[in-house]
Amino acid sequence: MATYIYETIPRRKGEQPTAFEVSQSMLDAPLTHDPHTGRPVRRIISGGLGVITGKRGFTSPAIPTTGSSARYSSGCCGTCHS
């Protein structure tokens, strides 16, 4: 089960949204309404923590090897290393 963050959609200008968490299967459709209040909600996209493993393991991008893509030889997509 994954934990998703939702927030209520403000009805009036200046109204603050209320955030809450829900444990759902990744296969479940996103909620459209708060299960407790019935107010409309939207799911918030937030960062997470993931671990990428492989045969090579993880190597430091600061240690160059050979080739133009060698900097990302650990399996990293490269977006976190500018």
pLDDT tens figures, 43-74 = 998 876 666 666 665 555 554 445 444 444 44
In a domain, 18, yes or no: yes
Q: Residue 31: inside a domain, yes or no?
A: yes
Inside any domain, residue 25: yes
Q: Please state, rounded to an integer, the average pLDDT across all residues of the chain.
A: 76
Q: Determine, yes or no, domain membership for 66.
A: no
Residue 58, in any domain of the structure: no
Whether the CB-CB separation of 54 and 75 falls below 8 Å is answered with: yes
Domain count of the chain?
A: 1
DSSP string, 30-61: PPSB-TTT--BEEEEP---------SS----T
Domain that holds residue 17: 2-44
C-alpha atoms less than 13 angstroms from C-alpha of 50 in its C-beta half-sphere: 9
φ and ψ at residue 71, rounded to 5 degrees: -60, -30
Q: Is residue 38 situated within a structural domain?
A: yes
Query: How confident is the model at residue 47, as a pLDDT?
Result: 74
Question: Is the residue at 68 inside a domain?
Answer: no
Listed ranges 14-18, 63-67, 75-79; the one with the highest mean pLDDT: 14-18
- Asked whether the predicted pLDDT for residue 82 surpasses 70, the reply is no
Instruction: Report yes or no on 27 lying in a domain.
Output: yes
Q: Which residue has the higher pLDDT, 2 or 64?
A: 2
